[in-house]
Amino acid sequence: MEGEKSMAGSMFEKSEAFAFKLDSEDPLAEYRHGFYVPKGTIYVDGNSLGLLSKESKASVLRVLNEWKTLGIRGWLDAKQPWFYFAEALGAMCAKLVGAEPEEVVATGTTTVNIHSLVNTFYQPDGRKKILADPLTFPTDIYALRSVVRLRGLDPGRDVVLIPSKDGRFLEEDSIVDMMGEDVALAFLPSVLYRSGQLLDMKRLTKEAHRRGILIGFDCSHSVGVVPHQLDKWGVDFALWCSYKYLNGGPGGTAFLYVNKKHFDREPALAGWFGYVKEKQFDLSIDFEHSKSAGGWQISSPAILSSAPLEGSLKTILKAGIEAVREKSLKLTSYLIYLIDGILSEKPYNFHIGTPREAERRGGHVAVEHEESMRISEALRARHVISDFRPPNVIRIAPIPLYNTYHEVWRIVQHLKAIIDKKEHEKFPKERKKVS
């Protein structure tokens, strides 16, 4: 920890001039002009809802126009025929996650994809348990418990939660220790949504497989900001949302990945869009799935909520995921450096709740404070859009494609001013409906 601190210390300086210097050296700086950053705001909530890009707006407008001018013919005659839209987006996204084009498809929503894939891969026989973690986003646990319940098993007993020592992080060693002979499946997040810890997916996959356990990941908090090697690591399945780092729009179509070694498995939640494409319109009542990730589609693709992804994926691919990761780590390291150096002592008392080691960090920083909820409100009043996660975390996600180092510097000045002027004390202690 201290080593990282001093390393960061030697890389950065506290002055505003230094923030400008970092921006002037930023090879991704021009991408900010490709996004609609809400006027007068510092938007660091792209880990919750990424911003609209000009490319996404263009792809949405094109699809709308195709609907207007082609009607139903858009399924085959649109520039990107809607019949193949999900597969085309899957092939683009595959490049971000180290997969082959047919292993990824844009479909459904995150939670529905959890149900679909976990039901496919969880085949309790001798082994009945699903290994999960209590720090993951709750929808994952709701879904796992309902899968187990549907099999007539006991969710309290058969969904096993890995204990965390401090409520922030999970030790990979503890996860491996829990991979017992009664575990059928492990389903874990790539990045913990609150602390921003990035799990070692490569190691966990290897250890699971050595013990005869299948493993899947919810990569909602990593795809688009962290490079993945799902094929190389041998991950069995994965899924992720598109509205965070992929900038696919609120509630946009999600993605799923199925490793090609599993293409022969029967999708648990079969539906007609999973049918072999060439024969789908034979409309046979006997299901024949497409032996690709596309086989796990259920319904007609939601073309309008998939359309932004064509533009946003194009933008990320053009920037390059390695360059995105490099800048993301530099932004988050800089934020950690400034908070440690300016705000960690009395009367500020901010604390970093994210791993300091770069390889254990996703795209956001968890800034802890006992008044985090009201400070988060005070930040919003100062037009800094971050979010609050109970009990004490302000999540700050400086996004490589549209945030600047100077914005990071300014956020720290805002936090300092809020405490200096006790601005947070003006806000109610009750949490808003959406935080």
Of 382, 371, 346, 379, nearest to 425 (Cα)?
371
Rounded Cα distance between 104 and 423, Å, is 47
Q: Is residue 189 a contact residue for ligand PLP (CB under 6 A)? A: yes
The answer to whether the CB of 134 falls within 8 A of the CB of 216 is no
Nearer to ligand PLP, 189 or 400 (CB): 189
Give the C-alpha distances (Å, rounded to integers) separating 132 from 71, 187, 190, 371. Answer: 45, 5, 12, 30
Q: Is residue 47 a contact residue for ligand PLP (CB under 6 A)? A: no
What letter does residue 428 receive in the DSSP assignment? -
Nearer to ligand PLP, 251 or 320 (CB): 251
- For residue 405, the minimal CB distance to ligand PLP (Å) is 26
Q: Which residues pair with 105 in a beta bridge?
A: 256
Nearer to ligand PLP, 127 or 395 (CB): 395
Annotate 410-422 with DSSP letters as a single string.
Answer: HHHHHHHHHHHTT
Span interacting with ligand PLP, options 54-62, 83-91, 216-224, 279-287, rule CB under 6 A: 216-224
Q: Is the dihedral of CA 339, 344, 348, 352 positive or negative?
A: positive
Span interacting with ligand PLP, options 107-115, 225-233, 347-355, 423-431, rule CB under 6 A: 107-115
| HSE of 97, CA atoms in CB hemisphere, 13 A | 38
What letter does residue 238 receive in the DSSP assignment? E
Span interacting with ligand PLP, options 214-222, 268-276, 332-340, 350-358, rule CB under 6 A: 214-222
Contact characters 108-127, ligand PLP, x per CB under 6 A: -xxx----------------
Q: Is residue 146 a contact residue for ligand PLP (CB under 6 A)? A: no
**Residues in binding contact with ligand PLP, number by CB under 6 A:** 12
Q: Is residue 306 a contact residue for ligand PLP (CB under 6 A)? A: no
> Which residues are catalytically annotated?
137, 218, 243-244, 395
Q: Is residue 193 a contact residue for ligand PLP (CB under 6 A)? A: yes
The answer to whether the CB of 352 falls within 8 A of the CB of 419 is no
Residues within the interface to ligand PLP (CB under 6 A)? 109-111, 137, 139-140, 189, 193, 218, 220-221, 241
